[in-house]
Each structure stands twice: as structure tokens, then as C-alpha cells.
Amino acid sequence: MRLKRGESAEDRRITLAKKSREACLNHPKFKAVFEKYTKEMGIEQEPQVSELWKSHAEKMTKLEAEEEEIRRVAEERKRKQEEDARIAAELENKKKMETIPADFFKQINKMGLTKMVGQ
């Protein structure tokens, strides 16, 4: 059983029980056989078994909000790092572009081609 951060085994069992209930109620065979009897069986509404289920719902909402906040912060941090990397690459490219003409003329001078200019 894989637990989320801050979730207990009991919380996980309750979550799985809720999902199992929904899966059973939405199953085509259940609908074909028992759908007309759901009211008599008392299962047409989600059960409010005890304070345990209510507190579980509140706890899960809180955990999901915390996870969403953590995900948002991580995404924001990643976006900032990508932006910083992009800016650094632009600055490096700009520096290269500024040195290209000087390097070109240095290379021409090394080759001795500047002596031919003006003849």
C-alpha cells in the first residue's frame, strides 16, 4: 500500500472503501440488477458512517491542498531556473557576438591580409 505524505494506513483504507463503493455502484451489472432497489437498501446516498469519515474528508482536503502548494512551488522554482538559464545563454551569446568582429580582424591581421588593403 503506497501512502501519500501525511496519510496514515487508516486514511488509505477509508479512501479505498469510498472508491470501492463508487466502483460498485457504477458497475453495469450492479445497475442492471440492483439499481431499482438502491433506495430500499439505503445506498442511494453516500453514507456518513461516523465522524471518522467526516474527519477523513477534511484531512484529505487539507493534504491535497498542501500537495498542490508543494507542486506549485516546485513548478515556480523550475520556471525560474529555466528563465535564469535562458538569460545566461542570451548574455553569453551577446558577448560572443560582440567579440566576433574583433576576432575576425585579428585573424586577418595574423594572416597578413591587412598589408594588401589599400594597394
Residue type, 44: E
The answer to whether residue 86 scores a pLDDT higher than 90 is: yes
- pLDDT tens digits, 11-66: 888 888 888 888 888 899 988 888 888 888 777 777 666 677 778 888 888 888 99
CA distance 55 to 33: 34
Contacts with 55 (C-beta within 8 Å, 6 or more apart), sequence order: none
Q: Output the pTM of the full model.
A: 0.53
- CA distance between the termini of the chain: 86
Which position has the higher pLDDT, 67 or 39?
A: 67
Q: Where are the domains of the chain?
A: 1-47, 63-113
Q: Average pLDDT for residues 74-88, to the nearest whole number? A: 96
pLDDT band at 117 (very low <50, low <70, confident <90, very high): low
pLDDT band at 1 (very low <50, low <70, confident <90, very high): low
